[in-house]
Amino acid sequence: MIFRLIIILLFSVNYVFSQEGLKIYSKYCVGCHAPNLRGVDSKTDLFKNRFTKKYIERQISQGIPNTTMVSWKNILSADELSSVAEYILSFQDNDLESDKKIKTDTVNSEQYKLVIQSIVGEKLKTPWAIEFISRDSALISEKRGSLKWMINNVIQSDSIEGLPKTYLKSSTGGYMDIALDPDYEKNKFIYLAYSFTNGNYDDKNALALTKIVRAKIIDNQWTSEQTLFEVPDSLMVRNGNRWGCRLYFDPEGYLFFSIGDMGRAMDSQDLSKATGKIFRIHADGSIPEDNPFADRSGVLKAIYSIGNRNVQGIDRNPQTGDIWASEHGPRGGDELNIINKGDNYGWPLVTYGLNYNGSVISDKTHMEGMVQPVTQWTPSIAVCPILFVSSDNYTKWDNNLLVGALAFQELRRLVIKDDEILKQEIIWKGKGRIRDIKLGKDKFIYVVTNGPDRVLKILPY
């Protein structure tokens, strides 16, 4: 117990320092050692050696005689020395077996010079989502049906046991998003969305659909599982594709989730079917009384909005309090929407896209009673996660929307004012399909991809 406490204390100290460390480094050291620590020449390259914290602190404090590396003893306090040393150490792979430096890349974006740290490489298999539990630990879902711990940037090898089996006979199915209960500290509930069947898991033609459960992980065991949302076989789909599913808890504690159209476009307009919708439930799976269709019969009362082809990004605009969602279009017509209770987003009656084979789905982009997107992307970038930025580490990006794309492998930054997109910046392209974007508890942005660098951390200057 005491040991645990000490560990927690050590970790929280690290955190304060590494955030502070970036600030000190950008102020005093970046000119000679460069944002990515690679230096301006071979001597100032802080990447060539593996350091201990003591060694770095000593070099900074005493300086190196007869070089431009002066003593910083009188300029930096002991805490500042420690925090900048921690920051330099954050570029070292924490995996002691690997004895490597963390791979980095620099990107000159419009507002910041960015150092992109690749903190996890190919140790993860097709990650889908990340949730930070504390400053130093996160849970990551992998598509083929596993959850992994990332502790101090290292993926733990002992797997979590007792997880539900997932249906993998559809190329896009498997484990999808995870979420933490808003009251996680107290109740330890973790939410999971995955492809589910009551039938045979090896049968390509089994009836299947997205299912939402919650459980606790105790001693690496998935326990006390409760089903929050599932449909009877009569509402499941054979050979389906486009499962969703993004989970999102709003500040009032409602759980939003999405299910894609599973290739049944017209069912997106049918209130008795689960496909092509966004849902809203309470954390225990019960239906909010004020859900838009809660008083109708013959409908799924968990439905919150309809006509949503395949939503894989949900977040809340902190300025307006509105829920925003990204939606995959067919060939063209990826959308960004503001989701309002009971609204119809039009799929497939109105769309900016064509069928994959080029044939027309609908000749209409507008229709009475159908909500227009805030913006749409044609050709489709294959829009996936979205995140409204709100962190002291990126004040110039305040309330910007980060958007990740699968096929286009882009991270975009959208500047928004009065629900309009003023501009879009492509921050990077080609680092793999982007599956998730989250703010860590350290208030830095983390990006999960299916490229060689599975978890990336963004450091701004």
- The residues that touch ligand HEC, with contacts defined as CB under 6 A, are 28-29, 31-33, 43-44, 46, 49, 56, 59-60, 64, 67-69, 72, 84
Q: Which residue has the tokens 């001597």?
A: 43
Tokens of 372: 């227009």
Q: How far is the CB of 303 from ligand HEC (least distance, A)?
A: 55
> Closest CB to ligand HEC among 37 and 147?
37
b or e along 97-107 (b: 16 or more beta carbons within 10 Å of the residue's beta carbon)?
eeeebbebeee
First to last CA, the chain: 39
CA 419 vs. chain centroid, Å, equals 22
Q: How far is the CB of 446 from ligand HEC (least distance, A)?
A: 24
- Minimum Å gap between C-beta 59 and ligand HEC is 4
Indicate the residue type of 154: V
C-beta closer to ligand HEC: residue 87 or 175: 87
Q: Are 407 and 380 in contact (CB under 8 A)?
A: yes
Of 81 and 325, CB closest to ligand HEC: 81
Could you tell me the CA-to-CA distances from 340 to 149, 292, 337, 370 in Å, in that order? 35, 10, 9, 12
What is the closest distance, in whole angstroms, from the C-beta atom of residue 275 to ligand HEC in the complex? 55
68 vs 297 by CB, closer to ligand HEC: 68
d(CA 421, CA 401): 10
Give me 162's structure tokens: 């007792």
Minimum CB separation of residue 136 from ligand HEC in Å reads: 23
Q: Which lies closer to ligand HEC via its Cβ, residue 60 or residue 228?
A: 60
Q: How far is the CB of 56 from ligand HEC (least distance, A)?
A: 4
Give phi and psi for 31, each to the nearest 5.
-60, -40
Identity of the amino acid at 96 = L
Q: How far is the CB of 333 from ligand HEC (least distance, A)?
A: 50
Smaller CB distance to ligand HEC: residue 28 or 184? 28
Q: How far lies 255's CA from each of 128, 166, 205, 355, in Å?
A: 19, 22, 30, 32
Do the Cβ atoms of 209 and 194 come closer than 8 Å?
A: no
**Smaller CB distance to ligand HEC: residue 100 or 429?**
100
Nearer to ligand HEC, 18 or 166 (CB): 18
Q: How far is the CB of 66 from ligand HEC (least distance, A)?
A: 8
What is the rounded CA–CA span in Å between residue 166 and residue 243? Answer: 13
CB of 362 to ligand HEC, least distance (A): 60
R_g of the chain computed on alpha carbons: 24
402: nearest Cα among 393, 415, 418, 420: 415
Residue 432 has a CB neighbour count (10 Å cut-off) of 16
Cα–Cα distances (Å) from 227 to 164, 194, 230, 283, 304, in that order, read: 11, 12, 7, 11, 19
Q: Which is nearer to ligand HEC, 61 or 390 (CB)?
A: 61
